[in-house]
A and B are shown apart, each in its own frame.
Chain A
Amino acid sequence: MKNNQSNFNEHEVLHELKHFLPAQAPLKDFIHHNTLHSFQNLKFYDALHQAAKIFGFKTTLSLNDYRNLYQSGKIDTQILENIITEQKGKDELALWIDKLFNKQFDYQIDSRIGKLKANWKNNYKIDMDALVHPLLFRIVCSYLDQGIAIWNFPIEHKGFLSSIREFERMSYGSIFNSKRVRDLLLNNNCSMEHLLEILVGDETLYAQYLYDQQFAHQGWSGMVSFIEDNPNALLDTKKITLHDFIVFELLLEINALDSQYGDNWKPIKDTLKEKPSPLFAPVAVTELNEVIMLWQDAYEWTYYDQVLAGVQLGYDNNAPKTAKSFQALFCIDDRECSIRRYVELNDEKCETFGTPGFFGVEFFYQPKNGKFHTKLCPAPVTPKYLIKEINTKGNQDKDAHYSKKSHSLFQGWIISQTLGFSSAFKLAVNIFKPTMGPATTSSFKHMDKFSQLTIENKNINQREGDLQIGFTIDEMVIRVQNLLNSIGLIENFAPLVYLVGHGASSINNTHYAGYDCGACSGRPGSVNARVMSFMANHKKVREILANKGLVIPDTTQFMGVLHDTTRDEMEFYDEDLLNKTNKMFHEQNKKTFQKSLDENAKERSRRFILTNTKDTAKKVHEAVKLRSVSLFEPRPELNHATNALCIVGQRELTKHLFLDRRSFLNSYDYKIDLDGTFLTNILKPIGPVCGGINLEYYFSRVDNQKLGAGTKLPHNVMGLIGVANGIDGDLRPGLPSQMIEVHDPIRMLVIVEHFPEIVLKAISQASETYEWYNNEWMHLVSVNPVTRKLQVFKDGQFVPYKPLKTNLELAPNLNNLVESTEENFPVYLFNN
């Protein structure tokens, strides 16, 4: 961050620049992450202020939003006053109250980015961006294109700049109008430093110029930088570096100036009247910042306080265990929060658990006829195993309307006069009676229900490349043991244990990958559920486990399931492997699931204003299913919107609370992990996964234009890797407004059921984990499992917290409740 250094260090500047650019993967691997990950080394609020001042992002709601939230009762007066008193002192309370409620502030944010480059416009009246961007975007998009264009970029294997050089050398025309620029490129006389010397002239300004330049189109720069670091993010891999991209842009800039002014222009330094302030100079905290921090804290704690009060009003967690009808493991995903509630309601004797939806098995998956491997585990993990789908036809539906042939002249002539008319018909049909088609993304297409998987490795020489096909018995044992221990399911097994992965369905949705399971790298969790079930059912595995003291009765069978969170449908795998009794139980349980799915769909539908929630659950469910296949539905489901909590503990900790689908739920039994070994492993991904989701929603919500993708309605698909507005806009990373509009931008509260010293020890194991909490990007509370006392993590230590609320309302009948409003609910006690 030193850009006042006298010498320009290209390598260092590029490295830093890459760090600040958006790090969003191409569309097929949409993975949630903290949008401001580059500021994570700072305290949350400091990061917000810096990001706002340096890059011009809007990093919180606006003052008026908070005032309106207060008016509508979303911010509690008592909590607000407590927070002001705590932070500013009792004497200042009235003063700050006045500022919070009445003072008018000036809103002209003056960000630092772009100030240096603005000199072209100021001094030369040239709109550099308008001249450079369209061609730059078009060329880089053509180069990276994954299959939209019919003619690909002619040369690609040599790296971006070399390919362009070759292309330029080999064609009669030129990308550039300026001969000088063409020569610079062809004669390989285009080191970044040399070009910057032509354009800027003053070494001390180079870095700042590059920031200005790249942040004028952070979408494409971020994509290039991401692909440079993760070449496998593209199926049709491309060699590109941010360095090449910048050099090419610099060439285009010189070209623009040359073609407008010929020799008649000078580098920026010669016309610069005054050096702009350095980007990373210290940022002062303004009074408005302080006011907003107070509001945000009060907003967050108004909600947290209810939850914490609820936790304290809980049931006895030491009640004796009774026999269970079945057990079901769901993903920790907040979308599974409500379906679990319904399953438990509809069968009081069942038991549900939450665990990351890859069920502890990490591998690459290759579907039948697939040319590539798909990673099915959390993104940072690199698996060593391969699971292949076999014994299925693996056919793939086609739709001639998507054929690129219609874009060529003569075939297009015929197609438009034939298919043209059928497309009118298809359009009418889809509008009046939407159905599933080849273009629908469906979680059930991920794996054929009747296929087989190569799960067991009987000979370690069975390999493909670096990957071992399947797992050996010993490898299976470790994974089964870890999974069951981490959630505390080590005894009292029911006859049936369901492993429920999840996925989503949608059509006309460019962000479809963001709807699937985050723990499976944005894919449905069906294969993982099936693989884990196979392992846990394996005779030899059970034998070894029994020797280690983990006895799974012979009568118990595991079964893989896929829950489609958009359609609220479930698919059960390998049903014919069940024994007779279990088959009978299973039929019974399926009814429980079906009823729960209907009710869950109904609860979800309350957010869909155009769906009549007051209908019977069955009818509403049909309407909800229809959404997932309707071309005109930009909100097939609302994904993680409203997420705010992550609860790590036994189900009993929150089973009595109505949490309104706002919570990630990770099952964990402190009793079998007194030293916190499993807890360390559980908390490790909570930051990047749950925190990442939460903060991406936060930032996309507070600044949907700069940190989010804006409304998705005008989006245009660029090269199958990203979306932009129109044809010459920058890529839009972040979430579209349709995904975040009902989200309340508050940070995540992680509640862990364990003694504070153990929790502290668990988060201190890895500095990345610790940073999340210490820098306040997430809140952390420990619930003492014995006394139920609460402790909040603050400035490196746990301090006691006593909720203001001492009682919560009892939820009315659930059916009536979900029909009552589309707004967020408060936390209710719940025992119907």
Chain B
Amino acid sequence: MEKIIQLFILIPLLGFIISLIIPRQNERLISLTAFTSVGVNFIGFVVFVIYWLFNGFPILNLKEILIYKTTNYEFLLDFYFDKITVVYLFVGSFLTFLVTIYSRYYLHREHGYKRFFNTILFFYVGYSITVLSGNFETLFLGWEILGISSFLLISFYRERYLPVKNAIKVFSIYRIGDVGILLAMWMSHHLWHENITFLKLNNYELVHEHLQNHSWIGVFISLMILISAAAKSAQFPFSSWLPRAMEGPTPSSAIFYGSLSVHIGVFLLLRTFPFWEYQYSVRVIIGVLGLITAIMGSLTARVQSSVKSQVAYASLAQIGLIFIEVAAGFETLALIHFAGNAFLRTYQLLVSPSVVSYLIREQFYNFTPRVHSSKFALPKRLQYTIYMLSLKEWNLDWFVYQFIWMPIKLVGRKMKFLNFKAALVLFTLILIGAIGALQNEAAIPVEVHRFLPEVIGLFGLLLVAKSFAERQSVLVSWTLVLMNNIMIALAISFNEHFEYSHIVLYLSGGLIAGALGYFCFIKLKQLEKEIDLTQFYGHSYKYPRLAFLFLLACLGLSGFPITPTFIGEDLIYTHIQEHQAPLAIIVSLSFIIDGLALIRIYSRLFLGPHIKRFHDVGFRSS
């Protein structure tokens, strides 16, 4: 019975791969592939669930798909199946199935028809992996796919400025969520000394025993999980990304940002509930976070004058309530609430264009000139203040910008004194010095050795911050990211003694991707002469294939699960010790910024309004 559950990943994966090789013009076949694979998956799943119910709905766990193993490390894929999985997979498959059929007509003749279905299927694969995952590693795999496919869906209209800008914005918040998971994984390696499965988390004695002596570790892990969940589910203070994600074709906004994607944070909480069930402080924090979001979200929803942002805020306010339900331990209620909210918001978004005729007709027949519409009789001053704050989205968008991006930009700008040549020289010196030092490690005084990993890591972090702040040369920015990867590997080398193969594994993907990136860049330079990072060039209009290759290079370099770097990343974390929080933070930060810098390079070169004007190009404000 366990064996069957992997089918629910393989079928969509197969659909996705087939959809990639169908020619662009063949609309029929593309959509057919999409809704057949989703449909077969859905029906198969329903049949399986019935069978499962008749067998007394046991919890299923499929272990041992070993991806990588060394002496004290293994990377396992693990799948898990219980009530939560059933609800999530049911809602997900049902909605995706309906929306693929819907989009078959809706996107007819749209430029990018194939790209749309590719991305939807990719998203669906990621979603299925996530909700079926049995351990953090597997979950993270799905999580990453969700992130990148979201980026692609939001920037679906890549020839316009705003979708690209917003896609980057959303991606960067997702990136914070990623790091939350990475840090949670890092700590739990040290807590459990193994790849803990969600199945084992159900074992109260085991969890209790481990947490008894490491209660702060438990709290740390829970908080990291909460950050991830909050980022992904648009909870306070990350809420402002959700309305901004509504840039793609309406059906994709409807299922992903109206329902599936945005409820994944809830899933993460439900899944890890047994772990923090007895950490009451954490439960209170989750509840309070949910409450804040519910209040702010519903107030903000009240003042929205555009349909999609209204649905978005109303939806995330409900998710705030779901957070409270989860924190309170009402699992079943949370699941029902999730399903209802997902269906409702999907539907509301899909019919959102109808709102015009419906509400205007209503206005025509029922209009009463306004007296004042807010019900509770607050003093005027307070009313206006709340209105103003809600209109400004409680400054959340500004907050994210001010406290997350500005510091990075500032650091990057402050790095101006270090020009690229100097950085390169410094980098080479450190590299040679460090490799030399590694040969004679014994000779290094202990006090120096203790700080070496952090120092080298910090240098790496500065490099990538500079890469992010680089406004001119693509080559410089790209090289800096590569240099950062090497520095991080180097830092870890001082940390612990382990096989070089780990480092090779970590670097191999990055280096290949790095080379591919150089290749694409040189090619583009030949074709277009002037390219830099000063503006969006939109070259995917003319060179879609090159754009795709370069995207692969970016993904590879940023540790996306298509190269071994992905496993290497996880590995790196296992070599950071539990008391080395600064190092963990440095590595995580450079991981976030590295992804951002790369996605920015990709966006500047290939997305946005096309620089050539032989076809119509949109206004910047459109």
Contact = CB atoms under 8 A, between A and B. Distances in A.
Contact of A420 (B106, B157, B250, B341): B341
Contacts of B366: 371
A728 interface: yes
B1 to A, nearest CB: 28
B118 interface: no
B621 A217 contact: yes
B388 A167 contact: yes
Given A173-B389, A413-B337, A634-B106, A148 B247 contact: no
Contacts of B212: none
Interface string B368-380: 0110111000001
Contact of B621 (A133, A399, A510, A714): A133
Contact of B365 (A28, A370, A710, A715): A370
Contacts of A420: 339-344
B250 A713 contact: yes
A319 interface: no
Contacts of A58: 613, 615-617
A413 B106 CA distance: 31
Contacts of B362: 147, 396
Contacts of A156: 370
A152 B373 contact: yes
B361 A396 contact: yes
A507 B350 CA distance: 11
Interface in A60-86: 62-64
A424 B343 contact: yes
Interface in A448-467: none
Contacts of A95: none
Nearest to B380: A170
A681 interface: no
Contacts of A634: 105-106, 108
A401 B101 contact: no
A375 interface: no
B306 A724 contact: yes
B98 A431 contact: yes
Interface in B273-301: 294-295, 298, 301
B305 interface: yes
B405 interface: no
Contact of A148 (B103, B305, B389): B305
A704 interface: yes
A740 B621 CA distance: 22
A149 B367 contact: no
Interface in A368-427: 369-372, 396, 399, 401-402, 406-409, 412-413, 415-421, 423-424, 426-427
A135 to B, nearest CB: 7
A380 B313 CA distance: 41
B604 to A, nearest CB: 14
B621 A216 contact: yes
Interface in B326-357: 336-337, 339-348, 350-357
B310 A148 contact: yes
A725 B337 contact: no
Given A171-B381, A371-B367, A725-B247, A423 B353 contact: no
A413 B321 contact: yes
Contact of A147 (B251, B359, B380): B359
Given A27-B356, A171-B385, A402-B359, A427 B157 contact: no
Contact of B616 (A64, A152, A369, A705): A705
Nearest to B369: A236
Contacts of A28: 356, 360
A633 interface: yes
A149 B343 contact: no
Interface stretch (A137-145, A247-255, A296-304, A527-535): A137-145
B306 A407 contact: no
A416 B157 CA distance: 31
Interface residues of B, number: 107
Contacts of B372: 154
A420 B360 CA distance: 24
Contacts, number: 333
B314 A407 contact: yes
B546 to A, nearest CB: 20
B618 A108 contact: no
A632 B103 contact: yes
A95 to B, nearest CB: 23
B359 A423 contact: no
Contact of A512 (B306, B314, B350, B357): B357
Given A401-B348, A409-B298, A439-B351, A703 B616 contact: yes
Contacts of B340: 416-421
B367 to A, nearest CB: 5
A171 B622 contact: no
Chain A interface size, under 10 / 10 to 19 / 20 to 34 / 35 or more: 35 or more
A438 B354 CA distance: 10
B539 interface: no
Contact of B305 (A133, A138, A402, A610): A138
A687 interface: no
A831 to B, nearest CB: 35
Interface string B579-622: 00000000000000000000000000000000011111111111
Contacts of A720: 355-356, 359-360, 363
A727 B244 contact: yes
B187 interface: no
A175 interface: yes
Contacts of B620: 129, 216
Contact of B358 (A438, A609, A633): A438
A217 B385 CA distance: 28
Contact of A149 (B305, B345, B384): B305
B90 to A, nearest CB: 11
Interface string A691-728: 00000000000111110001111111111100011111
Contacts of A427: 98, 343, 346-347, 350
B380 A710 contact: no
Contacts of B157: 710-711, 714, 725
A370 to B, nearest CB: 6
B518 interface: no
B308 interface: yes
Contact of A236 (B160, B367, B385): B367
A703 to B, nearest CB: 4
A148 B364 contact: no
Nearest to A718: B306
B109 to A, nearest CB: 7
B241 to A, nearest CB: 11
B619 A730 contact: yes
A714 B157 CA distance: 9
Interface in A108-167: 108-109, 129-130, 133, 135, 138-139, 141-142, 144-154, 156, 167
Residue from B342, B389, B613, B621 with most neighbouring chain A CB atoms (10 Å): B621
B60 to A, nearest CB: 26
Interface in B80-118: 94-95, 98, 101-110
Given A173-B385, A236-B370, A423-B347, 9 more contacts: A148-B359, A151-B387, A401-B348, A420-B342, A441-B357, A634-B106, A705-B617, A711-B157, A717-B308
23 contacts: A58-B613, A146-B360, A147-B360, A149-B303, A150-B303, A170-B380, A170-B381, A174-B388, A407-B310, A408-B301, A420-B344, A427-B343, A508-B350, A609-B109, A631-B102, A632-B101, A705-B622, A710-B157, A717-B306, A718-B305, A725-B157, A725-B160, A727-B308
Interface of B: 94-95, 98, 101-110, 156-157, 160, 162-163, 165-166, 243-244, 246-251, 253, 294-295, 298, 301-314, 317-318, 321, 336-337, 339-348, 350-367, 369-370, 372-374, 380-385, 387-392, 612-622
Interface of A: 27-28, 58, 62-64, 107-109, 129-130, 133, 135, 138-139, 141-142, 144-154, 156, 167, 170-175, 216-219, 235-236, 369-372, 396, 399, 401-402, 406-409, 412-413, 415-421, 423-424, 426-428, 431, 438-441, 507-510, 512, 609-610, 630-635, 702-706, 710-720, 724-730, 732, 738, 741
